[in-house]
Structure 1
């Protein structure tokens, strides 16, 4: 037996407040199972386009009733209980403005968009940086985006650093966002990167495991720290090509911590070329706009059709030039 959904008029004798009134969506459903289940867990299973945290916020705000009474997250549901959920309309973005922007679209449908992000483009706004971000361009490209995932990061599933280039996926609906974020968390989605680093690592492949947290001396940086002071991070690397005093490496992420590849490379004494934060070398064979780090491949299951999809982004011209110059130097030596 599946839950029954309907949108009835709210009986005046049931509520004396404004529950379910005005703009928004009011849903009524019946709990069908013989065994009890917590209210929040069942609602998440029925409204998969909403995250558990968002459902719990609805409950805490008094937007959920069980048999006419305000529910709590741990309220046990029993067969035949009537649950009403009122979902208010999305909060508007207060100051973000859509901006026309040339987007390098690798794929797009009604549920998601995959882009090849250029260097120099910040993904989402932050205090003091509200213009010229990828989100501003996406708001112009996708008018429905403002209602997704929050005030400053609508639709953003994962992020790339400002000067990191390559594949990035953005959800175009709340359902797609939640399902794609789960894929990132459960490692169903795969992310692979190319980077040119200083020096040549020992061996042809390896794994870096090191918790990442704030640098103890410079709070603007991150570093490999003790497990108690950071979050577990795991990066797999393989050597693609030796380039004299440099190397081209390919990385695969198990986790997605802030600056993860950059911090792990610096930790193994092979910082990413051009990294303004974690590399001390400033004399480079090619002028770089930032670190030579590129998200070359993104694999994911389509959040609606479940089809496996793999996207690849070509190397940016400046990184391709850097590799060509280094190869030429090797051949000339």
Structure 2
């Protein structure tokens, strides 16, 4: 796999990759390849390797922002922390919501057990988590939704789909039934910058979304 062939945006301080599903951002304990293993091939003449500004789950595809120098990393990270970054995701749910749109406001906390490992759960004692959503299409007992998260908690969209909407994301091995590829895609990313044009990218739908491709054409 050549990540250099999956660049959606690049300039002197940043690049956006179309990360494939199944590729973790950081090297996992199981020794599998990760985005981290490909960073040398993404220097494009720069001395330093680029570094990830945020994270996508291993099974989530789409827009991943990398900074090309430490100063840019600090500025872009600050934009994420300040809630200035516009992120739009697409997901296929294992069921059809009754409503057409909504705002999910469910704080999330991490829990861990020896038997099941860790997971995120809704909890009033957790960190604030808000996600706007819109139903785009429904067919075959499944629904394509657009997510617009206002916060960036771990597994936020996956938990909000299952607990907030009432239908887990298709293929989610933790909060859903698993059994196939998880259909969650980081579709669009826009990062404002004060002194130059915004970073803007859109990742094409992967083949796993073929049943709903016409709904976002």
- Normalized against structure 2, the TM-score is what? 0.87
Match of 1:137 in 2: 38
Q: How far has the Cα of 1:156 moved from its partner?
A: 1.5
| Greater share of strand | 2
CA drift of 1:127 comes to 4.7
Q: Does 1:314 align with 2:204?
A: yes
Q: Which residue of 2 aligns with 1:10?
A: none
Paired residues for 1:55-204 under 5 Å:
101-103=2-4, 104-127=6-29, 129=31, 132-142=33-43, 144-145=47-48, 155-204=51-100
C-alpha contact 1:122 1:134 (8 A) present in aligned 2: yes
Counterpart-to-counterpart distance in 1, 2:199 and 2:70: 20
Q: Deviations over 1:92-131 (max 9, x none)?
A: xxxxxxxx833300111221111101011010124553x6
Q: Residue 118 of structure 2 is aligned with which of 220, 224, 228?
A: 220
C-alpha separation between the residues in 1 aligned to 2:83 and 2:14? 18
Coordinate RMSD, CA, aligned: 2.2
In 2, the alpha carbon distance for the partners of 1:273 and 1:166 equals: 17
Name the SS of the counterpart of 1:221 in structure 2: strand
Gaps of 5+ in 1: 1-99, 147-153, 283-287, 325-333
Q: How many residues align?
A: 208
Q: Does 1:323 align with 2:212?
A: yes
With structure 1 as the length reference, what TM-score do the two structures score? 0.58
Three-state SS of the structure 2 residue aligned to 1:145 is coil
Separation (CA, whole Å) in 1 of partners of 2:38 and 2:112: 36
Unaligned 5+ segments in structure 2 are none
Structure 2 SS opposite 1:215: strand
Aligned residues of 1:115 and 1:167 also touching (Cα < 8 A): yes
